[in-house]
Amino acid sequence: MKIKNYRWLIVGLLLIATTINYLDRQIIGLLKPTLETEFGWTETDFAHIVMAFTASYAIGLLLFGRLTDVVGTKWGYTISVVAWSLAGMLHAAARGVGGFIAARIGLGIGEAGNFPAAVKAVSEWFPQKERALATGIFNAGTSIGVVTALFLTPWILSHYGWREVFWITGGLGFVWLLFWWWLYAPPERQSKLNEAELAYIKRGQENSTDVNEKPIRWTKLFTFRQTWAVITGKLLIDPIYWFFLFWLPSYFSSRFSLDLTKPSYELMVIYAATTFGSIGGGYFSSLLIKRGMGVLMARKITLLIFAVLEVSIILAQFASSIWMAVGLISLAVAVHQAWATNIFTLASDLFPKSSVSSVVGISGTAGAIGGILFPILVGYLLDSYKLQDNLNGGYNLLFTICGFTYLLAWVLIHGLTKNYGKNGYLKSTIEK
């Protein structure tokens, strides 16, 4: 049976996979009080467990970025989901810090395959004018996964136990795989796709390559300026999002005396806002292309607008109430996700489909490295201001740094891509 608009069914699969991905990675933080009591963890023990995930995730991005380009989207995603689902379930078998570190390493490596495979799938299934919207939709799974974890983890914990939380959530990936293998294939090989939709997809893929074309050598990718443009967009900006995720609870606790032992609707609103930013950012640049603007110009105009909007985070220091701060920070995280959506899409604009996953993996690793280094600055500044009994001043300085970094990133991206024509990808620049 031929299915109309089959490509949007594919996006639905990517959205669900990304949701499961972020659900699985959030569980350890939500179970932290329970596991500390059971195993007698110190804060240092938990820090080592978190660092194990972050470091392995950075390595996994490189591995899966290349692997997915070599073996194809279907197998690359499959290996990734099997790896992270097994690792997620094996948390239940851990008996100490070493066991959890081993499980987190497996989870980090496996989960790293999600974004390289998802972005590659979008590059295969969508014309350029729809790619940002498609990316925005599946990228919304990052926030849906966090919110889902906030509800699902306590429910399973209260009815069963912490081990069952890992068994059940880890098993979700295997359920997803059944639908993935049933429904996914490149457009050229998908019998459920009607000819009209296939022709529509192909007409809108100006950097189309044969699905069997070999990817560009990994080392050669570093010789292209467009690779560094995508790296810049991730290296400078990803750490800011991790700052928002990891330090916002303590910021609201110190600034507005938020009780973190109770469900925080303020934080839920902030995390939910990222969904609107992800989809809205993709929709906006796709709309500009549909109205006749060149692909690369549309991406860069969109990135510039969101970079300017992000400066508004510096106003958080003047917030006189908790909900005023929630509003400003919700805007900031939504704008970040809009930016992230267009950076992911930029990789598919600037490179042939055969190498998209490799570029996403390389840039994702750069973002992860930034995510490891930026907390050093955060900790230094907050400790310094805390000694002066002015912790809020430390947060205000960090918000200012975050606000202007997007503009710096945009200037660098623009300089690195300004000679690539209205649609970004120029085959001659890849073949040289």
pLDDT by residue (tens digit) across 386-409? Answer: 778 777 788 889 899 999 999 999
CA 272 to chain centre: 15
For residue 94, being part of any structural domain is answered with yes
For residue 52, being part of any structural domain is answered with: yes
The answer to whether residue 78 sits within a structural domain is yes
User: What is the count of structural domains for the chain?
Assistant: 1
Q: Which residues contact 340 (CB under 8 A, 6 or more apart)?
A: 139, 237, 238, 241, 278, 281
Least confident of 83-97, 217-231, 250-264, 286-300: 250-264
pTM of the model: 0.77
Assigned domain for 374 exists:
yes
- Give DSSP secondary structure letters for 197-247: HHHHHHHT-TT---TTPPPPPHHHHTTSHHHHHHHHHHHTTHHHHHHHHHH
* DSSP 8-class letter at 343: H
Domain-located, residue 295: yes
pLDDT, greater one: 345 or 305: 305
> Considering the chain, what is the average pLDDT of its residues?
86
Summarize pLDDT for 151-186 with one digit per residue, the tens: 888 889 888 999 999 999 999 999 999 999 999 999
CB of 306 closer than 8 Å to CB of 92: no
Q: Is residue 362 part of a domain?
A: yes
- pLDDT band with cut points at 50, 70 and 90 for residue 282: confident
* C-alpha distances in Å from residue 109, one per residue of 12, 272, 330, 366: 24, 26, 30, 15
Residue-level pLDDT at 261: 53
Question: Residue with structure tokens 């805007």?
Answer: 331
Q: What's the CA gap between 275 and 272, in Å, rounded?
A: 6
Using pLDDT thresholds of 50, 70 and 90, give the confidence band for residue 411. Answer: very high
* CATH number of the domain to which 337 belongs: 1.20.1250.20
**C-alpha span between 121 and 75 (Å, rounded):** 12
Whether 393 is in a domain gets the answer yes
How sure is the predictor about 1, in pLDDT bands with cuts at 50, 70 and 90?
low
Tens digit of each residue's pLDDT (9 = 90 or more) over 355-367: 888 888 899 889 8
Angle at 104 between CA 100 and CA 107, to 5 degrees: 140
The pLDDT-based confidence of 420 (bands split at 50, 70, 90) is low
Could you tell me the pLDDT band of residue 210, with boundaries at 50, 70 and 90? very low
Contact 274, 337 (CB under 8 A): yes
| 263: CB partners within 8 A, 6+ apart | 150
Query: Is residue 1 in some structural domain?
Result: no
Q: Which residues contact 247 (CB under 8 A, 6 or more apart)?
A: 378, 395
| Angle at alpha carbon of residue 151, lines to 146 and 152, rounded to 5° | 90
**Does 124 have pLDDT greater than 50?**
yes
Is the model more confident about 350 or about 249?
Answer: 350
pLDDT at 260 > cutoff 50: yes
Q: Which domain holds residue 296?
A: 6-431
d(CA 75, CA 77): 5
According to the model, what pLDDT value does residue 262 have? Answer: 61
Q: Among 75-79, 176-180, 419-423, where is mean pLDDT lowest?
A: 419-423
In this structure, what token pair is assigned to residue 256? 């507005």
